[in-house]
Amino acid sequence: MLKKNKCFTTVLIVFCIVFSMFITANAVTVSIGIDGTANFTNAQFYVLGSSNVTTYTSSSGTTVSGSIYPNDLCTVLDATGTYWKVSYPTSGGSKIAYCNKTNILSNTSYCKRISVYADSTVYRKSDMSTSFGTALTTDKIYMLSPISNGRSQIIYPTSSGYKIGWIYATAVTSASFTAEKSKFPSGKYWCHTPGAQYTADTISSSPCTCDKHGGGHTTNDLLTGSCGCNSFEGAIQCMGFARKVGYDLFGTSVTSWKRSTLTNDVETLSPGDYIRFKNDGHSAIVTSIDNTYIYVVECNADGKCGIRWGGAYSISTVKNSLTEIRRHP
């Protein structure tokens, strides 16, 4: 009995230590987007690990040139092939040589666009002991390794090039659409009989009878939905529906979500995010994204308040006509 208690206490202490590490780590929420190709030329970095790294006289990696110390601030000069051309400090100044990219990148086949929800401290090495700089919410950032132990290697832009470093990161919560799909099925209409009682959960099997689906509603229409179009939080049709789905998914108003108008942020949309695009002409909730398309759930793409799951818009279309993104909490 006594032994069991001691064991439990030990587990509890370990749990508390691990938990407090996560608290102090202060991980930034990141939205992980499409595959990307980062530019490494002029990127400052520290080699991985705490050992010296051998450098070579050429990109073939055959003749030894020297060593990079673990705390040397290095710069990538050319990032082609396996051995990258780098410069690093020496006792006499600096030296140019080649080092294996596996000493720079923790994962040589992973590169994804990300956006950070808040400005985030970047550390020199994965031990997170010394800061290197700050990655901003407005930066075009690439994640160079999947999140492991709450950490991820990234490359972000600076005034003179780039920096490769580490952040404490946690991926944004993913939305679950199951309940919304059964409440608002494809093929139904988000509308009601004009003048009849309705709620934002009302759907109809018949197209909306309102004759103003191309615009032309007055503010009064928007507030009451008296025309037959359903209304939610002061909006009807595509915008009202997107706000409704967003609210159902996360329990907060889409209009209170973190806003972005950066076209680059389209590359890091995540399921549940709200987009306003087509030059302020259409709203939708993102259900998924691949390297070419953004898939959405939407209303009124048919001009009749029809509900549709699986509508696809190319990333370039959304970028070129973007009004705003609202990042879900």
Residues at the contact surface with Zn ion, assessed by CB under 5 A: 191, 208, 210, 212, 227, 229, 305
H or E element at residue 142:
strand 141-143
d(CA 170, CA 314): 27
Q: Tell me whether residue 195 is exposed, middle or buried, using C-beta atoms within 10 angstroms of its C-beta: 0 to 12, 13 to 18, 19 or more.
A: exposed
Minimum separation from the CB atom of position 148 to Zn ion (A): 48
Compare residues 212 and 319 and give the one whose CB is closer to Zn ion: 212
Question: Of the two residues 78 and 302, which places its CB atom closer to Zn ion in the complex?
Answer: 302
Task: List, in sequence order, every residue forming a beta bridge with 161; answer none if it has no partner.
Answer: 158
Work out how close the CB of 313 gets to Zn ion at its nearest, in angstroms, rounded to a whole number.
21
- Toward Zn ion, which CB reaches closer, 36 or 311? 311
Instruction: CB nearer to Zn ion: give 68 or 229.
Output: 229
Q: Residue 259: phi, psi to the nearest 5?
A: -100, 145
* Nearest to Zn ion of 191, 296 (CB atom): 191
215 vs 139, 236, 238, 315, 318, CA distance in Å? 36, 11, 11, 25, 20
Q: C-beta of 195: minimal distance to Zn ion in Å?
A: 12
Instruction: Write down the least CB distance from residue 300 to Zn ion, Å.
Output: 7
Closest distance to Zn ion from the beta carbon of 185 (Å): 17
Write down the H helix ranges in the chain. 2-25, 178-183, 219-224, 237-250, 315-320
- Nearest residue (CB) to Zn ion, 208 versus 285: 208
Q: Which is nearer to Zn ion, 37 or 211 (CB)?
A: 211
Contact 74, 44 (CB under 8 A): yes
| Cα 59 to Cα 78: distance, rounded to the nearest angstrom | 10
Tell me how far, at minimum, the Cβ of 305 lies from Zn ion, in Å: 4
> Residue 159 to residues 74, 135, 176, 281: CA-CA distances in angstroms?
17, 12, 40, 36
Q: What minimum distance in Å lies between the beta carbon of 231 and Zn ion?
A: 9
DSSP β-bridge partners for residue 288:
295
Least Å distance between CB 294 and Zn ion? Answer: 24
Question: DSSP per residue over 154-195, as a string?
Answer: EEEEETTEEEEEEEEEEEPPPP--HHHHHHS-TT-BSB--TT
Q: Which is nearer to Zn ion, 83 or 241 (CB)?
A: 241
- DSSP string of 81-92, one letter each residue: SSEEEEEEEETT
Q: Which is nearer to Zn ion, 51 or 206 (CB)?
A: 206
Shortest Å distance, C-beta 215 to Zn ion: 10
DSSP string, 216-255: ---HHHHHH-TTSB-EETTEEHHHHHHHHHHHHHHSS-GG
